[in-house]
Amino acid sequence: MVFNIHNLNPCSRLKLLVALCALSLLGCSRSEETGQCNAAPQVPVRQVVIIGIDGLRADAISPALTPFLFQLAESRGLAWGKIDVSNGRTQHTYSAPGWISVLTTSWASEHGIVDNKSAGPVKVPTVFERVQGRKSDSRSIIITSWRPLYDLVEGRLRALPAMHHAGFFRENDAAIEQEVLTTWQACQPDLAFIHFDAVDKAGHDGSFDPSDSGYASAVRETDSRMRRLWEKAFSAPSAHGEMPQRLIIFASDHGGIGNNHGRYSDAERWAPVLAISPSGYPAVNISRLVDIGQVSLDFVQLEGGRLQ
């Protein structure tokens, strides 16, 4: 029998429509992607991975809460840095302006995303476009579970001709980890931005405070995720055994106070950052949020000269 919605009484019809809408909304909100990341004929000589840990407070980096991330710095003779994501109390400590500053090397006054409700478009080129502009066969990806960030970046890139870029919107950090172990691993893109959101969510659900049990447990879980990804992906060779030189940057976009952020207290505006460069490459200095994208461009484009 062919199902026909018109055979249902009005009440059942309405219920069915609501159920279908909920299902499709859920489907859309949990997983979506733009483009595909097909590996380049040759694995790039240099790769950058920017790992965004949303809402990680600077004082959450410690041997007890983040044993892997703490040790990773120590093992390289480095210390975690702190950056003022508010640019001297001029940019709100929200995620959309913060991550777009990372991905455009510019502050909100230039890129136009002043808070999480800014609809875009992002006014200045992203690092994804700038890498491709310099190296036409490059590959880039973004993986996130936060819809506004996905929409801002993909909205801008969709308007461009033939970008070698793929965007992945996934349900949560576990799904993002899986995407790194499959898509990133197989594709080996020149540039990747991978965004983890569980720590920020725990801050909003409880308190942005390492002494809050929910926040502390999300930080610990994220640290374990970073250890797995480091071992299985970022310090591992490609499927064909190549080992590119990799610059791996860990950064947060803001801290928080109580169960929120957006303003300019020290707990909100100072965010941790760490750049691990390959052996033989000098230590990378990041003192501002907007430096993250720039050092990434400098690194992947070293052979072709520096972008301005």
The contact set with Zn ion (CB under 5 A) reads 200
| Residue with smaller CB distance to Zn ion, 154 or 200 | 200
| Residue with smaller CB distance to Zn ion, 85 or 166 | 85
Residue 299: CB minimum distance to Zn ion, A: 29
| Residue with smaller CB distance to Zn ion, 70 or 270 | 270
Residue 203: CB minimum distance to Zn ion, A: 7
Report CA 74 to chain centroid distance, whole Å. 24
- Name every residue whose Cβ is closer than 8 Å to that of residue 1 and which is 6 or more positions away in sequence: none
| 112 vs 126: CA distance, rounded Å | 13
| Residue with smaller CB distance to Zn ion, 177 or 200 | 200
Residue 50: CB minimum distance to Zn ion, A: 18
Give the closest residue to 105 by CA, choosing from 130, 84, 86, 81.
130
Q: Are 139 and 112 in contact (CB under 8 A)?
A: no
The DSSP bridge pattern shows strands 270-276 and 81-84 to be: antiparallel
Q: Are 74 and 274 in contact (CB under 8 A)?
A: no
| Residue with smaller CB distance to Zn ion, 185 or 252 | 252
Residue number, nearest CB to Zn ion: 200
Residue 95: CB minimum distance to Zn ion, A: 6
| 38 vs 141: CA distance, rounded Å | 11
Burial class of residue 48 (count of CB atoms within 10 Å of its CB; 0-12, 13-18, 19+): buried
Residue 13: CB minimum distance to Zn ion, A: 39
Residue 283: CB minimum distance to Zn ion, A: 30
CA distances from 14 to 4, 20, 28 (A): 14, 10, 21
- List, in sequence order, every residue forming a beta bridge with 118; answer none if it has no partner: none
| Residue with smaller CB distance to Zn ion, 153 or 297 | 153
Give the number of other Cβ atoms within 10 Å of residue 200's Cβ. Answer: 24
Residue 303: CB minimum distance to Zn ion, A: 38
| Residue with smaller CB distance to Zn ion, 148 or 293 | 148
Q: In this structure, what DSSP letter does residue 278 have? A: P
DSSP 3-state assignment of 189?
coil
Q: At what angle do helices 291-300 and 127-134 cross, to 10 degrees?
A: 20
